[in-house]
Amino acid sequence: MPLCAKATVQDAVGSTQQTGDLISGQVAALQSTVRTMVEDVGSMMGRLNAEVAAIDQSASALNNAGSQSLDALEERRAAMDALAQSFTARADEIDGRMRTFAQTIADSVNAAERSLLDTRAQMENLLTNSGEQVNEALVASANNVSQRLADLRAAAEAER
């Protein structure tokens, strides 16, 4: 091989080697960059997973709190319904007692009125009977007095 061709081949080999070294350096830099990017993406994924877990926990806590609130509201609603029914029953009971009380008073007043009317009628009968007896006694006394006067006149005339 001539010298020129050998130098050309050596230049080509040197150039290829330099190109290979340069490409190896660029591949190593690219690998380092990709590795760094993968590590950064992995780190971001880890942080995102942690945030997603925190959001899941928060959502779960909110869901539990909401469920507990709804359960408490249902319990309170049931208690309020029971209280309202109790008030209604008590009001009905009081209303019934008041009606019974009013009826008892009305019955007592009616009985007292009947008793007063009966007593009045009895007193009127007694007064009527007493009046008739007094009248009969007065008529009998008057007749008796008249008879005695007549007897006294007759006796006085007979003496005269």
Distance (Å, rounded) from C-alpha 5 to C-alpha 11? 9
Structure tokens at 35: 């590795």
Contacts of 9 (CB under 8 A, 6+ apart): 1
pLDDT for 1:
55
| Stronger pLDDT, 148 or 156, i.e. the higher one | 148
Structure tokens at 136: 């009969």
pLDDT at 59 over 60: yes
Q: Which of 25, 120, 60, 12 is nearest to 33 (CA)?
A: 25
* Mean pLDDT for the stretch of residues 133-160: 84
CA distances (Å), origin 56, targets 4, 8, 52, 68, 72: 75, 68, 6, 18, 24
Distance (Å, rounded) from C-alpha 80 to C-alpha 8? 103
pLDDT tens string 85-141: 999 999 999 999 999 999 999 999 999 999 999 999 998 888 888 888 888 888 888
Q: Rounded to 5 degrees, what are φ and ψ at 43?
A: -65, -45
pLDDT tens string 11-46: 777 778 888 888 888 999 999 999 999 999 989 998
Structure tokens at 1: 């091989």
pLDDT for 2:
63
Question: At which residue do the structure tokens 């050596």 appear?
Answer: 10
